[in-house]
Each structure stands twice: as structure tokens, then as C-alpha cells.
Amino acid sequence: MFPKVWRSIVTRWDHYLFGVGYGLVFGFFGITALVVDTPQADVPNGLGEVSTASAPTSRHWFGTNRDGMDLLGPTLAAAGRSAWLTLVAVVLGSSSGLAVAASAFLIGSDRGYRALAAFQSGIGLVPALLMMFILAAGFGAGVGATILMLGALCLGFVAGRGANWCVAWEDGGDVISARALGFSRRRILQELLFPRLWPKAAATAATLLPAALVAEAALGFSGAGASVAAANGRIGVMLGVGRETMFDLPWMIISSGAVLWVLTMVLAGLAWAVRRTLDEPVDERWF
């Protein structure tokens, strides 16, 4: 038994490495989001007075304080909330997109394939983005609205790519041979296509994660002006508050932008490694 377990670990070491990488990133930011207080934007009419300083007697987790103000802790906590919110949206949306692509293969509808492929190719992407930001400006991008909008975009993208993959694989020799042997579409999907489909969907989700994080920050940025309490404590609101207090508290926009940029680059690097490991091209359109 132990040689089999060891062989499995050795042959799949890269997947475990990615798990450790993502676990460290989201574990660190998740713990930070839970234990560090983030200043809330109290904005009755836009971005007016903002409570940006913690109490002088409060604990400064990262030791960078000035006049009783934690300069880095609140920013990392806000980034943690945004990162976890983005992760939930991407996982839910990508999983739903994978289910939609598999259902499209089972149904075998050419019209459904074309509709999904059209959305993925960009015909429906730009209107969806415009609608997302219009809704955010009006409703402030609360937690539910953010998950819904980002998840819907990931769903359409993964479903469209999955439909394209299924169409290409249907012309493969193994699928044609399985049909000649009398395999049903469900059995073909379970035994031949799904083992190829889910790694590609996972690689696509990993690639979408940094872009979705930037979109989440933009939603929070627009939600700051809409005075939505649910958008408080997220990196986009920190950027919005920092823009309004740029001359009084420049650290707010500088630290928020720097943390967002570093986190996005780390997630993009992990996504690139995931795609290379899963033999996914890294120079495709949109990536």
C-alpha cells in the first residue's frame, strides 16, 4: 500500500505543489481578513468622512503604525476578503460552466454549442462586462451581487471553451470508435471526455482568478461611491477611499494598489504554472 501511495505522490507532485501554493496565499490572506480590523467607510453621501485610524491601544499585527494607525494590516485584511470573495465566485462559476458544457454535449445541440462558443469568443463578453459595471454603480456591488456577476462571467467563459473542446473531441478517433461500439453519449462523456475536460476547466479557472480579482476590486471601487455597507472592508473600497483622501492619507491608495498588484501577480504566476503543467498553451487568445 505504501509504495502505491508514494508513487502517487511522486507522480503528482506538481499538483500538490500548486495546492500548497494556493493554500499559503489564501490561508495567509484568509487569516489576515479574520484577525485584522479594517477601517469601514462611513459614507452617508459619497465618500466624505472616513474612519481610517485604529485606536491607539489596538494591536498592530504588522508593526507598521504611525500615530496609532496600522498602515499595512487593514490593507492586507481587505485584500483577503476580496481574494476569498473572488475565489468563491470563480469556483462556483467555473463549476457551473463545466456542468453546462457537459450538459450541452449530452444534449448534442448544435445551436447550444454555437451560442456558448459565441459568448466565449467575445460577442457576449463586452455587453456582459458593461452590464456588470452598470449594475455595480447602481447597487454598490454587495457580496451577493459580486458573486453573481463574476460567477456568471466565469460560467459563460468556461462553458464556451468547454463546448469548443467537446466539439473538437467528438471528431476524434476514440470517440468515433466508442460510438461504433454502441457507447451512449453519457458513457462517452464519463469515460472519455470528462477526464480531459475537468483539467482544462481547472486551468481556465486558475487563469481567470487574477482577472476576476481585478474585476472585484473595480466593483468594490464603484460600490464605494454607492455607499453600500456590504462593500466595506474590501480592497476596492480601500482604493476608492484612498482616491478621495489622497492628499491627507496617501498611504491608503499606495498600499492598497501595491498589495493588489502583488497578489494579482502571484495568482497569475500560479495560473501560468498550472497551465504549463496541464499542457495547456499559455499563448491562447484572452490569455
Q: What residue segments make up the domains of the chain, in order of their start?
A: 73-277
CA angle at 94 for the pair 103 and 277, rounded to the nearest 5°: 110
Burial class (CB in 10 A: 0-12, 13-18, 19+), 104: buried
Q: In the structure grid, which three cell numbers stand for residue 257, read together?
A: 494598489
User: 163-177: string of b/e by CB count within 10 Å (b at 16+)?
Assistant: bbbbbebbeeeebee
The reported pLDDT for the residue numbered 87 is 92
The reported pLDDT for the residue numbered 140 is 56
Q: In the structure grid, which three cell numbers stand for residue 205, read together?
A: 479557472
Q: How many beta carbons lie within 10 A of that of residue 21, not counting itself? A: 16
List all residues 6 or more positions away from 35 whose beta carbon is below 8 Å from its beta carbon.
61, 77
Three-state SS string over the chain comes to: CHHHHHHHHHHCHHHHHHHHHHHHHHHHHHHHHHHCCCCCCCCCCCCCCCCCCCCCCCCCCCCCEECCEECCHHHHHHHHHHHHHHHHHHHHHHHHHHHHHHHHHHHCCHHHHHHHHHHHHCCCHHHHHHHHHHHHHHHCCCHHHHHHHHHHHHHHHHHHHHHHHHHHHHCCHHHHHHHHCCCCHHHHHHHHHHHHHHHHHHHHHHHHHHHHHHHHHHHHHHHHHCCCHHHCCCHHHHHHHHHHCCCCCHHHHHHHHHHHHHHHHHHHHHHHHHHHHCCCCCCCCCC
pLDDT in tens, the chain (287 residues): 455 544 544 455 566 667 777 888 888 888 877 777 655 444 433 333 444 444 444 444 454 555 555 667 778 888 888 899 899 999 999 999 888 888 877 776 666 667 776 666 665 666 666 666 666 665 656 777 788 888 888 888 888 888 777 777 777 777 777 777 777 777 777 777 777 788 888 888 888 899 889 888 887 776 554 455 555 677 877 777 766 666 656 667 777 888 889 999 999 888 887 877 765 554 444 44
Domain 73-277 has CATH 1.10.3720.10: yes
The reported pLDDT for the residue numbered 88 is 92
The residue whose grid cell reads 469556483 is: 91
List all residues 6 or more positions away from 49 whose beta carbon is below 8 Å from its beta carbon.
42, 43
Residue 115 and residue 159 in contact, taking contact as beta carbons nearer than 8 Å? no
The reported pLDDT for the residue numbered 92 is 93
Distance between start and end Cα atoms, the chain:
41
Residue 102 and residue 197 in contact, taking contact as beta carbons nearer than 8 Å? yes
The reported pLDDT for the residue numbered 90 is 93
